[in-house]
Structure 1
Amino acid sequence: MVNLPETPSIHNAATDRPEAAWRRVWRDYRGSPVAVVMLALLGVILVLALLAPLISPQNPYDLMQLDIMEGLLPPGTEASSGDMIYHLGTDDQGRDMLSAILHGLRISLFVGVVSAVCAVLVGATLGLFAAYRGGRTESVIMRLVDLQLSFPTILVALMILAFLGKGISNVILALIIVEWATYARTARGTALVESRREYIEAAHCLGVPLYRIIFRHLLPNCMTPLIVIGTVQIARAITLEATLSFLGIGVPVTEPSLGLLIANGYQYMFAGQYWLSFFPGIALLVTIVAINLVGDRLRDVFNPKGQA
């Protein structure tokens, strides 16, 4: 029986076990104190988002808990019932802004992560398939990639949502459509090198099914750039979702994200109620900065030659 050559693992260290390779990644990553702090901050943000229904002082979308007479209260005001303090104030409907931000953060992260993961799956699969098959198949897929990347991302997303309408699922679908091409081009470029290696040629000669060659041999060796790009693209997806929601065609008002909270408070800023947009904006900014800095550090770890 003929055995296939061993597939190289991450960090181009074929002799390392996967867990040893990831220990090396962590050792290199923690060489930057700022990146470690940002990773810890991102972990806190994720925990707050996941536990939002449990730790929020109020369910901001339960009408039985709202009192419109307590609308537009400034930060630090005590509720008329005396059972809570509105640390970040309230909006025009009497919603506690801290609770609204925690729930909005939950939705923003959900949209960003799910759309990025799905876009990676679609783009990486098409990119790997194009690199392995070559010829007309590769030409068709890459022309679609070029066509997709030639249009402004926000314009394409606006057109898709104008047709599909509001909704979290529609926003995720629009973000997948506008983001998959980036992953396809990256995966194809990396797979072109891997597809010429001996273990891929041996697998082909032995009649290994195409799906197994792509997902068992090519994909693991293309994950490094996809992980880096995917991390940064999560922040980009959150930004796009916030922009779409701010424009009024993103998530519905019954499930608002940070972008929609900012939009809802914009009309009150000139009247002095700055907290309605300011605090959701700070939460959005901190989240995006933390994700971007983590992604930048991962890029330096996986590609040390690219560091300045």
Structure 2
Amino acid sequence: MTALTEYRTSPPPPQKMENDQTQFRQFVRQFLNSRLAVAGLVVFVLMVLAAILAPLVAPQDPYDLNTLNIMNSFLPPRSEDFMGEYVFWLGSDGQGRDMLSGMLYGLRTSLTVGVGSAIIACMFGASMGLMAGFFGGRFDALVMRLVDLHLSFPTILIAMMILAFLGPGLVNVVVAIIVVEWAYYARTVRATALVENQREYMEAADSLVLGRARKVFRHLLPNCLPPLIVIATIQVARAISLEATLSFLGLGVPITEPSLGLLISNGYEQVIAGRYWISVYPGVALLILIVSINLVGDHLREILNPSNQR
């Protein structure tokens, strides 16, 4: 009993802390070795900052009706407004809305939906996968049958069915993406948990008669984090792309809370008339955002997967 008490209350040994610090420094060095991954991370951070600071850096509030004027509609890029007060650097749409301001606010909505839904789906899916891999038996079989059933249907079809029932809206889009994505996290974490559950440290935890919660969250979960981090990074880009698709189809966020997908949809019909800037610029911003996240996720997969390391 004394030994068990000392195990529970004693701090981690200095050697373990030094090993953790060494591994972290090695991880940082490996990540910095890829210029593409570093460039993707820098671009993503800049876009996040632009979205956060949108109310401060945007030339106008694109959804304040008092600042819009129909005389400024369909102005090409680098055109002055009819009063000559400021320049529409990326042009304007049919309502006289500054496209640069609309993209900054749309980027804010896209990131909120993508990152928020990915975090919640990760927490729920990882918890289900951990419990399935740790307890096994009927619970594991039930969770895996639900995951198999879920993954047998196209992702966009499930999201459209949910939004057809709930209706469009920011919260409803987040709920739909969570329902769509949780199974990917559950399957990945469950597979990792099954392998880690057979390791020596889990057998040692069983011999010390530790509680289930301590074994799962103190010992099993940290060793399941590498694949979880990789899939979470990739699923953020997937969530942003899915939200843009749903908004383009008119099932996503409402017009009062625009996203990049909705901006692309608003300018889709204007491309034929030569007003390309209304749809092309938001599309380019969405493409850069998704590519930057995927560059980071692909390099993390190389670093955290031992079979891919060189």
TM-score (norm 2): 0.93
Q: Is residue 217 from structure 1 mapped to residue 219 from structure 2 by the alignment? A: yes
Q: Which residue of 1 aligns with 2:194?
A: 192
Give, as a single letter, the amino acid of the residue that structure 2 aligns with 1:203: A
8 Å CA contact retained: 2:71, 2:82: no
Q: Deviations over 1:118-155 (max 9, x none)?
A: 11101110001001101111100111111111110000
Q: Deviations over 1:67-119 (max 9, x none)?
A: 11211111110112322100000011110000000000111011111111111
Match of 2:50 among 48, 51, 54: 48
Give, as a single letter, the amino acid of the residue that structure 1 aligns with 2:49: V
Distance 2:205 2:305 in 1: 28
State the shift of 1:215 in Å: 1.6
SS of residue paired to 2:93: coil
Q: Which residue of 2 aligns with 1:276?
A: 278
- Structure 1: gaps (5+ residues): none
Q: 1:12-161 residue pairs with structure 2 within 5 A?
A: 16-161=18-163
Distance 1:169 1:208 in 2: 40
Give, as a single letter, the amino acid of the residue that structure 2 aligns with 1:47: L
Distance 1:218 1:190 in 2: 9
Deviates further, 22-31 or 257-266: 22-31
Give, as a single letter, the amino acid of the residue that structure 2 aligns with 1:37: A
Q: Which residue of 2 aligns with 1:178?
A: 180
Q: Deviations over 1:177-228 (max 9, x none)?
A: 1111111111011111111223323434444332232222111110000101
SS of residue paired to 2:229: helix
What is the root-mean-square deviation of aligned Cα atoms in Å?
1.9
Distance 1:237 1:305 in 2: 28
Distance 1:194 1:307 in 2: 20
Distance 2:53 2:253 in 1: 21
State the shift of 1:42 in Å: 1.3
SS of residue paired to 1:91: coil
Distance 1:201 1:55 in 2: 56
Give, as a single letter, the amino acid of the residue that structure 1 aligns with 2:149: L
Q: 1:242-257 residue pairs with structure 2 within 5 A?
A: 242-257=244-259
Distance 1:75 1:150 in 2: 45
Distance 2:116 2:189 in 1: 19
Distance 2:270 2:147 in 1: 42
- Structure 2: gaps (5+ residues): none
Distance 2:305 2:85 in 1: 53
Match of 1:287 among 283, 286, 289: 289
Deviates further, 78-87 or 227-236: 78-87
Distance 2:86 2:198 in 1: 65
Give, as a single letter, the amino acid of the residue that structure 1 aligns with 2:110: S
Distance 1:231 1:155 in 2: 23
Identity level (%): 56
State the shift of 1:22 in Å: 2.2
Q: Which residue of 2 aligns with 1:228?
A: 230
SS of residue paired to 1:270: coil
TM-score (norm 1): 0.93
Match of 1:261 among 260, 263, 278: 263
8 Å CA contact retained: 2:188, 2:227: yes
Give, as a single letter, the amino acid of the residue that structure 1 aligns with 2:188: T
State the shift of 1:39 in Å: 1.3
Give, as a single letter, the amino acid of the residue that structure 1 aligns with 2:239: A
Q: Which residue of 2 aligns with 1:238?
A: 240
Give, as a single letter, the amino acid of the residue that structure 1 aligns with 2:152: S
Match of 2:210 among 193, 208, 220: 208
Distance 1:170 1:213 in 2: 35
8 Å CA contact retained: 2:47, 2:289: yes
